[in-house]
């Protein structure tokens, strides 16, 4: 079970073998610790030492997201296992196998971008959107043909450069399906419009799910293959999130806007953050999508299963030298 605690004046306590959530000293929920996988907190409150100890004992991850949709920290119980796995991961960060994974992840992202534009354009059949899809196709071919020989940082930058071009075409196409009153112009991590604020928040929820799968499989979320290592940035999380953004977050957020379930009135103009009730709805819909099932490679599985599989596939590359295949949905 994944628990999200949003808002203010909430607190987390322990009672026997239960995690107790209170609001202004009133109990609003009690859940057996054995049933909880992770707790995501948004807003302000506090947690007792006893609750932290119980969470450590039951290996419950604590994930914090701020109101801007940024993953601020994760807490987990100590893990001294999988030292060999982590050593192999750090090596992969510097060799061609890491570049192969990076290339595969971004190729999958581009294919999902194209599929998402196809879905959005199913009824309107806008020629301008077809043009953006065509350009994504051309960039995808350039990446497919990219030779991985040479200096690793230079090749990483080439992959990132092609990813940036494809994303520019993707968001230019998405723009045609966003109401004008939203005032969406382009994708930015420093939002002034509703769509970008919702995307940031949705991506943070998705990042928490991916970080959890990375930790469960014994990997280091701070050591990625594509995104350069930076202080306090979970580079592997940002690597593995790329192919899942479109299907899980983008479609969900765009749907909420077009159905007017979230409107410009839900954006706090003082700091460009989403108001509490709209945040709760976004969390509900994103988590619902993560745990919804699809048919993938002739199997019925949830997006959560697919995220878990991608982390396990990284482990199989590291320990068994297997080939990594990125996730994408064909239209």
Three-state DSSP at 7 gives: strand
Range of the domain at 51: 2-65
Q: State whether 50 and 149 are in the same domain.
A: no
Domain total in the chain: 2
pLDDT of residue 81: 57
CATH number at residue 278: 1.20.120.920
Q: Residues 176, 44: one domain?
A: no
Tens digit of each residue's pLDDT (9 = 90 or more) over 128-144: 999 999 999 999 999 99
Which residue did the predictor score with more confidence, 148 or 2? 148
> Looking at residues 212-234, what average pLDDT do you find?
82
Predicted confidence band at 331 (pLDDT cuts at 50, 70, 90)?
low
- Same structural domain for residues 87 and 58? no
Q: Are residues 131 and 27 in the same domain?
A: no
113 & 54 share domain: no
The residue assigned the tokens 């999130």 is 241
Q: Which of 12, 36, 65 is the last residue of a domain?
A: 65
Is the pLDDT reported for residue 317 higher than 90?
yes
Verify that 92 and 176 share a domain, yes or no.
yes
Do 171 and 145 lie in a common domain?
yes
Is residue 307, in this structure, part of any structural domain at all? yes
Do 37 and 129 fall within a single domain? no
Is 328 within the bounds of a domain? no
Looking at the structure, do residues 195 and 162 belong to the same domain, yes or no?
A: yes
Q: Give the 3-state secondary structure of residue 301.
A: strand
Shared-domain flag, residues 139 and 188: yes
Is the same domain home to 158 and 15?
no
**Tens-place pLDDT, residues 151-185:** 788 899 999 999 999 999 999 999 999 999 999 99
Look at residue 263 and tell me if it is in a domain.
Answer: yes
Mean pLDDT (whole number) for 183-199? 94
Q: Which residues of 142-168 are buried (b: 16+ CB within 10 A; e: fewer)?
A: ebeebeeeeebeebbebbeebbebbbb
pLDDT, tens digit, for every residue of 45-101?
Answer: 899 999 999 998 888 888 887 766 667 777 776 665 578 898 999 888 777 889 999
Shared domain for 7 and 122, answered yes or no, is: no
Q: Is the pLDDT of residue 109 over 60?
A: yes
Rounded mean pLDDT of 218-247? 87
Least trusted range by pLDDT, from 37-51, 95-109, 224-238, 287-301: 224-238
DSSP letter at 9?
E
Beta bridge partners of 46: 11
Does residue 70 form part of some domain? no
pLDDT digits 0-9 by tens, 9-29:
899 999 999 999 998 888 999
CA distance 274 to 276: 7
């Amino acid at each position: 079970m994944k628990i999200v605690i949003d808002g203010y004046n909430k607190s987390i306590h322990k009672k026997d073998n239960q995690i107790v959530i209170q609001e202004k000293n009133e109990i609003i929920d009690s859940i057996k610790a054995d049933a909880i996988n992770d707790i995501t907190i948004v807003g302000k409150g506090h947690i007792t030492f006893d609750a932290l100890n119980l969470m450590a004992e039951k290996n419950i991850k604590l994930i914090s997201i701020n109101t801007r949709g940024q993953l601020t920290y994760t807490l987990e119980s100590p893990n001294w296992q999988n030292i060999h796995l982590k050593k192999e991961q750090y090596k992969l960060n510097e060799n061609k196998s890491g570049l192969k994974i990076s290339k595969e992840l971004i190729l999958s992202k581009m294919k999902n971008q194209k599929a998402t534009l196809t879905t959005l354009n199913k009824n309107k059949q806008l020629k301008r959107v077809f043009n953006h899809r065509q350009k994504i196709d051309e960039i995808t071919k350039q990446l497919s043909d990219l030779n991985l020989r040479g200096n690793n940082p230079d090749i990483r930058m080439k992959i990132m450069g092609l990813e940036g071009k494809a994303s520019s075409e993707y968001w230019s196409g998405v723009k045609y399906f966003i109401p004008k009153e939203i005032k969406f112009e382009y994708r930015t991590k420093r939002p002034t419009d509703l769509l970008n604020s919702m995307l940031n928040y949705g991506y943070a929820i998705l990042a928490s799910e991916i970080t959890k799968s990375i930790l469960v499989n014994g990997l280091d979320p701070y050591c990625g293959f594509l995104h350069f290592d930076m202080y306090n940035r979970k580079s592997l999380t940002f690597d593995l999130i790329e192919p899942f953004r479109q299907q899980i977050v983008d479609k969900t957020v765009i749907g909420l806007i077009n159905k007017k379930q979230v409107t410009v009135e839900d954006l706090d103009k003082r700091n460009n953050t989403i108001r509490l009730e709209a945040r709760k709805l976004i969390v509900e819909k994103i988590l619902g999508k993560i745990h919804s099932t699809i048919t993938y490679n002739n199997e019925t599985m949830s997006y959560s299963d697919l995220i878990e599989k991608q982390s396990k596939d990284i482990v199989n590359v590291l320990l068994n030298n297997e080939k990594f295949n990125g996730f994408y949905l064909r239209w």
